[in-house]
Copies of this chain bind each other. A is one copy, B any other.
Amino acid sequence: MRTVGLVVEYNPLHNGHVYHFTEAKKQTKAEAAIIVMSGYFLQRGEPAIAGKWARTEMALRMGADLVLEIPFAYAAQNAEQFAFGATATLDATGIVDTLCFGSESGQIERIQKLASLLTDEPDVFRTVFARELARGVSYPTAYGRAAAQLLGDADAQKDTSEPNNILGLNYCLALRRLGSSIIPATITRQKAGYHDTEMTDTRIASATALRKHLLESGSLMTIEPYVPSSTLAVLANEQSSGRFPVTWDAFFPHVQHTLLTQTPEELALLHEMTEGLEHRLLAALPHAATFHELMESLKTKRYTWTRLQRLLLYSMLHVTRDQMKQATAEGPSYIRVLGFSDTGRELLRQMKKTARVPILTRVPKEKHPLLALDIRAASVYALAYPTELRLREMQREYWQTPIML
């Protein structure tokens, strides 16, 4: 079965995602689609607005055949780690033919060329990159400038400064490093009222914009034009049971608790807590009444919102540098199944022969350090839920079986 793989967050799944999904299947002539999706916490260091099982249902109702989880230790990381975890998971299935991602550029040749030049991070790239970082610019900016220098092509900076181009480049890099047979393809991302006459600004909006509308209005109806009816139905169900919407605000007391009870020396052991950032966090804490205020007071040109959000996430989850190293030492060491369709069941049957790592449909007794972090993330996410739901939801990793549609 010709199979396309997609890397997603679906936070929440909207019409733009449906467009990408449909086009990806069409353009790659795929008969089946495998989705690898972040779990409870996302690449930018945020909690997902709805839990992973709800988002799995959205994906399946749209037509996805198999939904796999990107382990937490890759999902809530910089673009390089995120792309590696997602790509390696798709690759490990042994049945994915194409990886189709959205990008601002839509030009797979340019992205591939850049990837081939960057695979070994040549000296000129590394020198410029280090110099730019030392100047105090952010990681993505430094990366873009180093790439432009390497290619002798000012456009390269644009190619590597748009968020989806960066991810795309990193998918291509990861595939090369893995020696994967998966062929990358890209589709130009649709923007509100842009390019496509059918997908006008009355039907397409970014997930960021949708979340903003949702949270400001408190009503699901505000996003009704922009999402498939199945997304709306799933979210309505989550809302009525008290599991939606989840934002950083619900976790702010836990961030405060963490920072109030740990010494700078203890915080310095956490993943990505470098350059004395622990002191910066502790100094900002007494002046921040909300999560947003904390972030605002931490942000600088050098420390991007995303990097700081991830740092607060690692702090709240108490993920140490050592734990992260141990968890990711072997790459994605299992394939976690979140849900599947009838076709997906067929894919799983094939994967029994082709998969290069164990396929997990339930949490085993012996937990790999990578899986232990998934479970930790899931149980802490449940602290955002109303009191009466918490205990059961904290345990969901143990009782939830894959969603079947």
CA A66 – CA B266 in complex, angstroms? 37
Which residue of B is nearest A317, CB measured?
B261
A391 at the interface (CB under 8 A from B): yes
Contacts A286-B391, A286-B394, A391-B286 given; indicate if A380 touches B257 (C-beta within 8 A).
yes
- Residues of B contacting A254 with CB < 8 Å? 253-254, 257
Which residues of A164-182 are within 8 A (CB) of B? Answer: none
Contacts A261-B380, A376-B261: A394 and B256 contacting too (C-beta < 8 A)?
yes
Q: Check: A316 CB closer than 8 A to any chain B CB.
A: yes
Within 8 A of B (CB), among A374-397: 376, 379-380, 383, 390-391, 394-395
Contacts of A258 in B (CB 8 A): 257
Q: Quick one: CB contact mask for A264-292 with B, threshold 8 Å, 1 for yes?
A: 00100000000000000000001011000
- Bin the interface of chain A by size: 20 to 34
In the assembled complex, A260 has its CB within 8 A of some CB on chain B: yes
Contact (Cβ within 8 A) A316 B261:
yes
Q: What is the oligomeric copy number?
A: 2
Provide the bound-state CA to CA distance between A318 and B318, in Å.
Answer: 12
Chain A window 358-383, contacts with chain B (Cβ cutoff 8 Å), 1 for yes, 0 for no: 00000000000000000010011001
The reply to whether A256 and B383 form a contact with Cβ atoms under 8 Å apart is yes
Q: How far is the CB of A278 from chain B (nearest CB, A)?
A: 14
A383 near B257: Cβ-Cβ < 8 Å: yes
- Shortest C-beta distance, A290 to chain B (Å), equals 9
- A316 proximity list for chain B (CB < 8 A): 257, 261
Q: Is A237 an interface residue (CB 8 A)?
A: no
A391 nearest CB across to chain B (Å): 5
Is residue A354 contacting chain B, with contact meaning CB distance below 8 A?
Answer: no
Question: Min CB distance, A264 to chain B, in Å?
Answer: 11
B394 touches A253 (CB 8 A): no
Whole-angstrom distance between the Cβ of A374 and the nearest chain B Cβ: 13
Residues of B within 8 A of A262 (CB): 318
Which A residues are closer than 8 A to B by beta carbons? 253-254, 256-258, 260-263, 266, 286, 288-289, 316-318, 323, 376, 379-380, 383, 390-391, 394-395
